[in-house]
Amino acid sequence: MKITSLLSALCLAAAVGGAHAATPKIVTQSLQEYGQECAEMIGQIPAFDCLDGTIVPITVDGKTPSEYTSGMTCDRPALLPYKPDSFGQCTPYSRILNFSRDKVQISAFCRREQLRDPKSVMFDEVDIIAHNANSGKTCWFHAEDKPGQRGGFDASRVPPPNEKVAPPKRVSAKDFWWTPGRTAQKNCASCHDADPFMYSPWLGQVWHKVPTDPLGRYSNIGKDFASWHSNSISTRDNTCVGCHRIGDQASCSVYIPMATGKISPKGGDAMAMSYPLSHWMPVNNDQTKAFWTKANLESLQKIMTCCDDPKNPICTITPIITPASKK
């Protein structure tokens, strides 16, 4: 099965199915209410300019290409399938920002799906994950271009989600961000099933800019996110869970197969599909393929057994994401 269809089934068409279809406006908590709840329970999100972020590199055979072409392949393509009329999985100049402080972890991501000047203020998607490493409480904010539009939107000042009044001539939080209800429909937890911050070779190039809490508490605030859930899967003495958990949703169907060479990323070039980049777990894999197989194959097979049959006696299944309160 192609990676596009796998991710589409798991993460909803509006999130990753390629069409970014419009979703109905379901509002059970206003953006202002949710933004303020997030600020009080996790931490205040600042206003920011996406251009202040660190660029996620796009390389071919380990080097920055002299030019970018539509639909090109690259070493580490974005895993989130882009819209059919996008520039492709290897669109350059997406940016990552880290506003973490102490136990407050805030990651902001500004995504490009169309080729633009590196200094353009126009982006196609902005996402924020805010997480408290002490309590595990997590919140999610999302904005993207309207369906059928390719011009992007101005992200030179991304407003704090709880901002009541925007500065003169600046977009308001209400007009910039999706409502919590719409964001919840994207079911981000189906892909972020093991941890709020999930690793990929693409994002791994700027991993020093991403906060991590791979074994910490993980729960979502806001009644719109009450249905989000995930379980960890493991077996006795399993090497695959030595550094992080493995979830039972996209981890089973996408991340494990892709990180172990079973399936290839859309937009990947020959380097992406060759060892060791085809086997990107463990991170920065410098093992020979023979050693990797000897060290990990049995553990991998056991994990996949549990993905297929969680009731198998060899499996340990433990809740990761605690559902949010509906009160």
Q: How far is CA 136 from the centre of its chain?
A: 17
Return the structure tokens found at 83. 């819209």
% of the chain at pLDDT higher than 70: 90
- Nearest Cα neighbor of 302 from 236, 232, 227, 231 is 236
pLDDT at 262 (0 to 100): 95
When the pLDDT of each residue in the chain is averaged and rounded to a whole number, the result is 90
Average pLDDT over residues 53-64: 98
- Nearest Cα neighbor of 199 from 139, 280, 291 is 280
| Band of residue 147 on the pLDDT scale cut at 50, 70, 90 | confident
Q: Please give the residue that has the higher pLDDT: either 19 or 254.
A: 254
Is the per-residue pLDDT at 327 higher than 60? no
pLDDT at 22 (0 to 100): 42
Is the per-residue pLDDT at 2 higher than 60? no
Please tell me the pTM assigned to this model: 0.90
pLDDT at 324 (0 to 100): 57
| Band of residue 148 on the pLDDT scale cut at 50, 70, 90 | confident
pLDDT, tens digit (0-9, with 9 covering 90-100), for 92-110: 999 999 999 999 999 999 9
H-only helix segments in 214-312: 250, 256-259, 289-308
Return the structure tokens found at 290. 């023979």
Return the structure tokens found at 321. 């994401």
Residue length of the chain: 327
What does 37-85 look like in DSSP terms, one character per residue? HHHHHT-PPPPB-GGGSEEPP--BTTB--SS--TT--BSS--SSPPPTT
Question: In 152-254, where do the E strands start and end?
Answer: 153-154, 218-220, 230-234
